[in-house]
Structure 1
Amino acid sequence: MHIEDIRLYCLSKSTQVVEELPFGPDTLVFKIGGKIFLLISLDQYDEIRFNVKCDPDYAEELRERYSQTVFPGYHMNKKHWNTVYVGRELQEKELKALIDHSYELVVQSLPRSVRNNINK
């Protein structure tokens, strides 16, 4: 997966997904309902990595199982965020599943009134 593949996949989750650059021109952020579910640096050349939200127990499991690919979230709350490297131990389908997990966690954390208005 390339950065553009990740970008398009995030945007495909819902027409209400927003992409922003709140931390400067080099960090692309994807939000749903005003909350971040993925961050990716745009100045990556050799190895692509992104940060996604994750259930704390599942985060630990992933870090143990994929010790060369999944790490505590860089510059994020290490309990709830993972940094995931593309092109190592996980295939595209598995990378998308981690994006889906992050997206769903964020959607479930939104107030019901906001959550009910999110379309696919």
Structure 2
Amino acid sequence: MDQQTVHEYLVNKPLVKVTQPFSKEVDVYKVNHKMFATLALGNDENNDANGEPIWWLNLKCDPDEALALRDMFTAVIPGYHMNKRLWNTIILDGTIPQNEIKRMIDNSFDLVVDNMPEKDKKIIAAHL
């Protein structure tokens, strides 16, 4: 998945807002004011074969699954600038299948929503 496809998938989740509290180069995706993803350009040394920058996606994750995903995919690393136990960084270099990235996004969204008060969960569920 490329940056644009990931962005579209993220913003099509119910009640998602995009903010840039850290800098204009980092999009932060929130549901009900709670962050579930960030999307930013990777480090300077992370360019594709054409010299184009590779985007990095931070997602919340169950701690056990976070470790398993890091073992399965070289493009999944501990969360960059995040709690490394609860967040993974997905390097969008084309090595992870699109459906797997969508599954990780869905899990991150669900983890955040599951920790909300019941009334907020119902409002979000009504938009699914």
User: TM above 0.5, one fold?
Assistant: yes
Sequence identity (%) = 35
RMSD of aligned alpha carbons: 1.5
Number of residue pairs matched by the alignment: 118
Name the CA distance, whole Å, in 1 between partners of 2:42 and 2:17. 20
Contact 2:56 2:91 in 1 (8 A): yes
CA distance in 2, matches of 1:87, 1:73: 16
Q: Which of the residues 74, 77, 82 maps onto 1:71?
A: 77
Task: Give yes or no for contact 1:38–1:53 (8 Å, CA) kept in 2.
Answer: yes
* Contact 1:30/1:37, CA 8 A, preserved across alignment: yes
Q: CA deviation at 1:87?
A: 2.8
Q: Distance in 1 between matches of 2:63 and 2:28?
A: 21
Alignment counterpart, residue 95 of structure 1, candidates 96, 101, 112? 101
Deviation at 1:49, TM superposition (A): 1.5
CA distance in 2, matches of 1:18, 1:8: 12
Amino acid at match of 1:27: V
Mean CA deviation greater in 25-34 or 87-96:
87-96
- Whether the 8 Å contact between 1:11 and 1:18 is mirrored in structure 2 is yes
Among candidates 53, 68, 79, match of residue 61 of structure 1 = 68
Aligned equivalent of 1:25: 24
Measured after TM superposition, the shift of residue 82 of structure 1 is: 0.1
After TM superposition, give the deviation of residue 62 of structure 1 in Å.
0.6
Distance 2:94 2:10 in 1: 20
Letter in 1 for 2:86: H
**Where in structure 2 are there 5+ consecutive unaligned residues?**
44-51
Report the Cα distance in structure 2 between the residues aligned to 1:65 and 1:88, rounded to whole angstroms.
15
Spell out the pairing of 1:36-51 with structure 2 (5 A cutoff).
Answer: 36-42=35-41, 45-51=52-58
- Confirm or deny: 8 A CA contact 1:37 1:102 kept in the other structure: yes
